[in-house]
Amino acid sequence: MGLNSFQTSGNSPGNRRCRVGILGFGAVGSAVANWLLNDPPAGPALELTHICDRRARDKRARHERAEAAAPIWTDRFDDLLTSDIDILVEAIAEPAIDYVRAALLAGKSVVTANKQVIAQQASALLTLAERQGRQLRYEATVGGAMPIVRVLGEGLAGERVLKIDAILNGTSNDVLSRIEEFGCTAEEAVAEACARGYAELNPSTDLDGLDAAAKLSILCGLGFGVRVLPSQIETKTTAGVGAPEFREARLRGGTIRQIAHAEYDPAAGRIAAWVAPVFVPASSLFAQTKGPGNAAVIVTAHAGTVVLAGIGAGGEATASAVLGDVVAIARDRAAIVPAPTFIEPREITGLSDQTFAEAV
Amino acid sequence: MGLNSFQTSGNSPGNRRCRVGILGFGAVGSAVANWLLNDPPAGPALELTHICDRRARDKRARHERAEAAAPIWTDRFDDLLTSDIDILVEAIAEPAIDYVRAALLAGKSVVTANKQVIAQQASALLTLAERQGRQLRYEATVGGAMPIVRVLGEGLAGERVLKIDAILNGTSNDVLSRIEEFGCTAEEAVAEACARGYAELNPSTDLDGLDAAAKLSILCGLGFGVRVLPSQIETKTTAGVGAPEFREARLRGGTIRQIAHAEYDPAAGRIAAWVAPVFVPASSLFAQTKGPGNAAVIVTAHAGTVVLAGIGAGGEATASAVLGDVVAIARDRAAIVPAPTFIEPREITGLSDQTFAEAV
CATH code of the domain containing A290: 3.30.360.10
What is the C-alpha R_g of chain A? 21
Q: How far apart are the first and last CA of chain A?
A: 52
Whether A298 and A160 share a structural domain:
yes
Residue A33 falls within a domain, yes or no?
Answer: yes
Q: Are A22 and A32 in contact (CB under 8 A)?
A: yes
Q: Are B277 and B241 in contact (CB under 8 A)?
A: yes
A75 CB-contact burial (10 Å; exposed 0-12 / middle 13-18 / buried 19+): middle
Residue A185 falls within a domain, yes or no?
Answer: yes
CB atoms within 10 A of CB B356: 13
Chain B hits for A11, CB-CB cut-off 8 Å, are 336
Told to judge if A215 belongs to the known catalytic residues of this protein, a careful annotator would answer: yes
Residue B91 falls within a domain, yes or no?
Answer: yes
B69 CB-contact burial (10 Å; exposed 0-12 / middle 13-18 / buried 19+): exposed
pLDDT of residue A215: 98
User: The whole model's pTM is what?
Assistant: 0.92
Contact flag B307-A308 (C-beta cutoff 8 Å): yes
Residue B82 falls within a domain, yes or no?
Answer: yes
| CB proximity A350 to B under 8 Å | no
Residue B337 falls within a domain, yes or no?
Answer: no
Count, in order, helices (H) and strands (E) of chain A.
14, 13
Q: How far apart are the CA of B164 and the nearest CA of chain A, in angstroms?
A: 14
What does the DSSP 8-state code read for residue A152? I
Q: Is B41 left (phi over 0), alpha (psi -120 to 50) or beta?
A: beta
Q: Are A146 and A310 in contact (CB under 8 A)?
A: yes
| CB proximity A268 to B under 8 Å | no
pLDDT of residue B30: 94
Residue B338 falls within a domain, yes or no?
Answer: no
Whether A238 and A272 share a structural domain:
yes
Tens digit of each residue's pLDDT, chain A (360 residues): 333 333 333 444 445 799 999 999 999 999 999 999 998 998 889 999 999 999 988 888 877 665 556 899 999 999 999 999 999 999 998 889 999 999 999 999 999 999 999 999 999 999 999 999 999 999 999 999 999 999 999 999 999 999 999 999 999 999 999 999 999 988 899 888 888 877 776 788 899 999 999 999 999 999 999 999 999 999 999 988 999 999 999 999 999 999 999 999 999 999 999 999 999 999 899 999 999 999 999 999 999 999 999 999 889 999 999 999 999 999 988 888 888 889 999 999 998 765 544 443
Whether A28 and A112 share a structural domain:
yes
CB atoms within 10 A of CB B201: 7
DSSP three-state, residue B207: helix
Q: How far is CA A155 from the centre of its chain?
A: 17
Question: Comparing C-alpha atoms, which of B177, B145, B154 is closest to residue B294?
Answer: B145
Q: Are A125 and A98 in contact (CB under 8 A)?
A: no
Chain B hits for A138, CB-CB cut-off 8 Å, are none
pLDDT of residue A7: 34
Query: What is Dmax (Cα atoms) for chain A?
Result: 66
Tally of domains in chain A: 2
Helix H segments across chain A? 3-8, 27-38, 56-63, 77-81, 97-105, 115-132, 148-150, 170-182, 186-195, 204-207, 210-224, 243-251, 315-331, 355-358
Q: What share of chain B is helix, strand, coil (3-state, %, to 5)?
A: 40, 20, 40
Q: Across the beta sheet with A46-52, what order do the strands follow? A: A72-74, A46-52, A18-23, A87-90, A109-112, A136-137
Q: How far apart are the first and last CA of chain B?
A: 52
Over residues B261-270, the pLDDT tens digits come to: 999 999 999 9
Domain, as residue range, for B19: 3-145+315-331
Whether B251 and B324 share a structural domain:
no
Band (pLDDT 50/70/90 cuts) for residue B22 is very high
What does chain B come to in residues? Answer: 360
Q: Domain holding B16: CATH number?
A: 3.40.50.720
Residue B249 falls within a domain, yes or no?
Answer: yes
Chain A hits for B155, CB-CB cut-off 8 Å, are 139, 147, 150-151, 321, 324
What's the complex ipTM?
Answer: 0.92
Chain A hits for B264, CB-CB cut-off 8 Å, are none
Whether A139 and A164 share a structural domain:
no
Tell me the percentage of chain B whose pLDDT exceeds 90: 76
Beta bridge partners of B161: B300
CB atoms within 10 A of CB A204: 12
Whether A48 and A7 share a structural domain:
yes
Q: Are B110 and B90 in contact (CB under 8 A)?
A: yes
Over residues B29-38, the pLDDT tens digits come to: 999 999 999 9
Whether B265 and B327 share a structural domain:
no
**What secondary structure does DSSP assign to A14-75, as a single string?**
TSSPEEEEEE--SHHHHHHHHHHHHSPPSSS-EEEEEEE-TTHHHHHHHH----TTPPEEES
Point out the residue among A311, A316, A335 whose CB comes nearest to the CB of B335: A335
Contact flag B150-A146 (C-beta cutoff 8 Å): no
Whether B222 and B303 share a structural domain:
yes
Over residues B212-260, the pLDDT tens digits come to: 999 999 999 999 999 999 999 999 999 889 999 999 999 999 999 999 9
Q: How far is CA B132 from the centre of its chain?
A: 23
DSSP three-state, residue B245: helix
Residue A338 falls within a domain, yes or no?
Answer: no
Q: How far is CA B77 from CA A293, B30, B62, B91, in A?
A: 49, 17, 21, 13
Whether A173 and A102 share a structural domain:
no
**Element containing residue B37 per DSSP (H, E):** helix B27-38
Whether A121 and A209 share a structural domain:
no
Of the residues B59, B108, B115, B215, only one is catalytic, namely: B215
Beta bridge partners of B50: B21, B72
Whether A106 and A160 share a structural domain:
no
Q: Are B326 and A156 in contact (CB under 8 A)?
A: no
What does the DSSP 8-state code read for residue A135? -
Task: Work out the angle at residue A303's Cα, subtended by the Cα atoms of residues A300 and A305, and round it to the nearest 5 degrees.
Answer: 60
CB atoms within 10 A of CB B154: 23
pLDDT of residue A68: 53
Whether B55 and B38 share a structural domain:
yes
Question: Comparing C-alpha atoms, which of A260, A256, A264 is closest to residue A234?
Answer: A260
